[in-house]
RNA sequence: GCCCCCAUCGUCUAGUGGCCUAGGACAUCGCCCUCUCACGGCGAAGGCAGGGGUUCAAAUCCCCUUGGGGGUACCA
């Protein structure tokens, strides 16, 4: 019915965030869908900043959003820092345009000044609600005479400008994901405000002027905008613009099915970035929120996403944000990284933790790479590399109390430690090939299984009972540190009178 | 209050009238691998919200109910 192929190469979409200081994952998902749609159709992806709320909008707040988009790899073709033929791309710099089109509307009798105060409006609204009617502006300022206007103005009232909406019929929204949605003009589209008394345009008006002037062909946005769409369509028509195609994508919910918000935990892209989520995983996960390809694939590369994405496959129902699945997916992408890539990702975390210096020598990097090789299958977040690798970098690693109690308090502990200490001391090299047979000799001597020997050693060397394979740990640590750690552990155990 | 949207395993989804005794993924549970934890492999449990129609045949189409979400601003 709606063949996307028809719009090949002429597609223009946009993402229009307001600079709130952070990019919500819902916004990121909207940006992603727009971006994928543009790239799929070899179209143009426009970034427009909706900063009409001067109080909230700062340059820094805008930069955070640009940074988040760059982290995700969602590059824009027109917009801040990139220019384009349809600028400016900041709404705050387009005020004259909005005024111009509002004036046009007034000339055509499709907009008028309204002197009702917010208090009066609110009171009437309450009354309507009480009576079980639709809440809408009653149109009382629509046909004011010049004298009446002057009289109202004389009272000190500052007018807003309202749109003179259609007073009959229906407005149809042809939505690419929902089909035709019908709104009754009389009850659903009232004479809404297009210019506030502070001289700024409202969202519903500015968005139409901008999208029309920027030649946007497809408006892909959250479902929360569906109800406002008939208002916007009426403005398009009153201004003589052809409305774009609309696609309202489902909302993103928290585990309790309410709109995903800060109280559900991390919702800002920057936060996920800081916690060590890979952009590839974020993008892949976000792509699956409200979109699916077939009955089996969940892992998609960026190029596959671009190739396979289509609005027709966007689902209609809201999606719950599942952090566990995101974590799993991040692990998948971490495992796909080359060791060098993983190193680049982990380096800042290790530097911040004080494990590595600003300048890393080739030798130390070699060591770090070996550690990463062992850690790779164990990481969910890159940030996990700090906790999981601590004992590889510091010698005064902490001992986990309960683990020590559980594993190092057996009667043979001291003998086992001494035995291993001896083996290590005499070992020509610390690899499995040499050590395993030596350990096996000990097993017979103590009448235990391999785990009975390895676990105490693991706790002694790492302070925990979780680590990569023991021979890898031994080899990485090297003879000197291994011996010192066994001695250190023995001292600790004696001090605490555990042996 | 009024209007709009939505409804398949706990979660994301495949399914567009017969291919469905409903498929996959995450999570959960069990087994295998094994020196711990991961990774990996195998397997299990788990769903068409309810009720009416239409049809030879419905998860798929229609209606109602229920549930969830959104909108209803001089926010965006």
**Sequential DSSP letters for A62-84:** HHHHHHHHHHHT---SBBTTTB-
Give the per-residue pLDDT at A83. 86
Average pLDDT over every residue of A407-414: 87
Catalytic residue among A99, A215, A231, A262: A262
> Which nucleotide's C1' sits nearest to the alpha carbon of A223?
B70
Structural element, H or E, at residue A13: strand A12-15
Q: Minimal CA–CA distance to A413: which of A496, A489, A327?
A: A489
Separation CA A492–CA A236 (nearest Å): 77
Q: What letters, b where the CB count within 10 A reaches 16 and e where it falls short, cover A337-357?
A: beeeebbebbbebbeebebbe
A292 touches strand B (CB under 7 A): yes
Note the pLDDT tens digit of each residue in A20-34: 889 999 999 999 999
Where does the pLDDT of residue A473 fall: very low under 50, low under 70, confident under 90, or very high at 90 and above? very high
By CB neighbour count within 10 A (0-12 exposed, 13-18 middle, 19+ buried), where does A106 fall?
A: middle
Cα angle, residue A253 at apex, residues A249 and A257 outer, rounded to 5°: 125
> Which nucleotide's C1' sits nearest to the alpha carbon of A207?
B76
In angstroms, the CA of A173 and the C1' of B63 are apart by 24
Instruction: Inform me whether the pLDDT recorded for A1 exceeds 50.
Output: no
Separation CA A279–CA A336 (nearest Å): 13
A299 touches strand B (CB under 7 A): no
Separation CA A242–CA A54 (nearest Å): 30
A121 touches strand B (CB under 7 A): yes
Return the nearest residue to B22, CA–C1': A295
The residue to which tokens 């998902």 are assigned? A29
Structural element, H or E, at residue A44: strand A44-47
Residue A262 is a catalytic residue: yes
Instruction: Inform me whether the pLDDT recorded for A491 exceeds 60.
Output: yes
Structural element, H or E, at residue A168: none
The residue to which tokens 């792509």 are assigned? A287
Is residue A211 within 8 A of residue A282, CB to CB? The reply is no
Separation CA A458–CA A308 (nearest Å): 48
For residue A418, report the phi and psi dihedrals to the nearest 5 degrees.
-65, -40
Instruction: Inform me whether the pLDDT recorded for A340 exceeds 90.
Output: yes
Give chain A residues 448-487 with Cβ within 7 A of strand B.
449-451, 454-455, 458, 465-472
3 state SS of A172 = strand
Note the pLDDT tens digit of each residue in A387-406: 999 999 999 999 999 999 99
> Which nucleotide's C1' sits nearest to the alpha carbon of A467?
B37
| Beta bridge partner(s), residue A179 | A175
Structural element, H or E, at residue A194: strand A193-195
Cα distances (Å, whole numbers) of residue A371 to A390, A459, A461, A477, A487? 11, 18, 15, 10, 23
Is residue A175 within 8 A of residue A222, CB to CB? The reply is no
Give chain A residues 311-330 with Cβ within 7 A of strand B.
312-313, 315-320, 322, 324-325, 328
Instruction: Inform me whether the pLDDT recorded for A282 exceeds 90.
Output: yes
A152 touches strand B (CB under 7 A): no
Over its C-alpha atoms, chain A yields an Rg (Å, rounded) of: 32
In angstroms, the CA of A325 and the C1' of B62 are apart by 37
> Which nucleotide's C1' sits nearest to the alpha carbon of A114?
B74
In angstroms, the CA of A431 and the C1' of B3 are apart by 73
By CB neighbour count within 10 A (0-12 exposed, 13-18 middle, 19+ buried), where does A391 fall?
A: buried
Please state the ipTM of this predicted complex: 0.95
Separation CA A423–CA A440 (nearest Å): 11
Separation CA A47–CA A375 (nearest Å): 39
3 state SS of A113 = strand
A88 touches strand B (CB under 7 A): no
Separation CA A36–CA A305 (nearest Å): 7
Give the per-residue pLDDT at A3. 43
Give chain A residues 391-430 with Cβ within 7 A of strand B.
none
Give the per-residue pLDDT at A409. 87
| Sign of torsion over alpha carbons A76, A78, A83, A87 | negative
In angstroms, the CA of A336 and the C1' of B39 are apart by 12
Q: Which nucleotides of B are covered by protein (CB under 7 A)?
A: 1-8, 10-16, 23-27, 35-40, 68-76
What's the length of chain A? 499
Give chain A residues 255-274 with Cβ within 7 A of strand B.
257-259
Note the pLDDT tens digit of each residue in A57-95: 688 889 999 999 999 999 999 999 998 899 799 999 999
Average pLDDT over every residue of A412-438: 91
In angstroms, the CA of A326 and the C1' of B13 are apart by 15
- Model pTM? 0.93
């Amino acid at each position: 019915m709606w063949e996307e192929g028809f719009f090949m190469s002429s597609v223009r979409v946009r993402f229009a965030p307001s600079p709130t200081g952070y990019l919500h994952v819902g916004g990121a998902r909207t940006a992603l869908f727009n971006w994928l749609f543009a790239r799929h159709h070899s179209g143009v992806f426009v970034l427009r900043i909706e900063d009409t709320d001067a109080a909230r909008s700062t340059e820094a707040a805008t930069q955070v959003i640009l940074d988040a988009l760059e982290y995700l790899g969602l590059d824009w073709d027109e917009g801040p820092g990139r220019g384009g033929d349809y600028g400016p791309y900041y709404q705050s710099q387009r005020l004259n345009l909005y005024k111009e089109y509002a004036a046009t509307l007034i000339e055509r009798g499709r907009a008028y000044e309204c002197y009702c105060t917010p208090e009066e409006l609110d009171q009437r609204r309450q009354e309507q609600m009480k009576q079980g009617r639709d809440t809408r502006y009653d149109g009382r300022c629509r046909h004011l005479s010049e004298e009446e206007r002057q009289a109202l103005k004389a009272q000190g009232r500052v007018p807003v400008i309202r749109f003179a909406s259609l007073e009959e019929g229906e407005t149809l929204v042809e939505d690419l994901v929902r089909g035709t949605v019908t709104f009754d003009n009389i009850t659903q589209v009232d004479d809404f405000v297009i210019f506030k008394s502070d001289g700024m345009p409202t969202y519903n008006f500015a968005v139409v002027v901008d999208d029309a002037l920027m030649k946007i062909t497809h408006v892909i946005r959250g479902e929360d905008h569906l109800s406002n769409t008939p208002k916007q369509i009426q403005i398009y028509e009153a201004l003589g613009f052809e409305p774009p195609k609309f696609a309202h994508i489902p909302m993103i919910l928290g585990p309790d099915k309410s709109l995903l918000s800060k109280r559900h935990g991390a919702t800002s892209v920057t936060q996920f970035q800081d916690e060590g989520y890979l952009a590839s995983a974020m993008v892949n996960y976000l792509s699956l929120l409200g979109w699916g390809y077939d009955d089996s694939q969940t892992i998609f590369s960026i190029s596959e996403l671009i190739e396979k994405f289509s609005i027709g496959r966007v689902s209609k129902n809201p999606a719950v944000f599942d952090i566990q699945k995101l974590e799993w997916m991040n692990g998948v992408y971490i495992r796909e990284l080359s060791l060098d890539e993983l190193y680049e990702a982990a380096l800042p975390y290790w530097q911040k933790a004080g494990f590595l210096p600003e300048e890393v020598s080739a030798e130390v990097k070699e060591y770090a790479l070996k550690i990463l090789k062992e850690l790779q299958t164990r990481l969910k977040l890159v940030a996990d590399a700090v906790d999981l690798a601590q004992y590889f970098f510091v010698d005064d690693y902490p001992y986990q109390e309960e683990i020590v109690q559980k594993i190092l308090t057996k009667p043979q502990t001291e003998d086992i430690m001494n035995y291993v200490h001896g083996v290590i001391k005499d070992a020509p090299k610390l690899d499995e090939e040499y050590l395993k047979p030596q350990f096996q000799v000990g097993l017979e001597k103590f009448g235990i299984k391999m785990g009975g020997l390895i676990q105490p050693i693991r706790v002694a060397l790492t302070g925990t009972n979780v680590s990569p394979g023991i021979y890898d740990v031994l080899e990485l640590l090297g003879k000197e540190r291994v011996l010192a750690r066994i001695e250190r552990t023995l001292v600790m155990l004696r001090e605490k009178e555990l042996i």
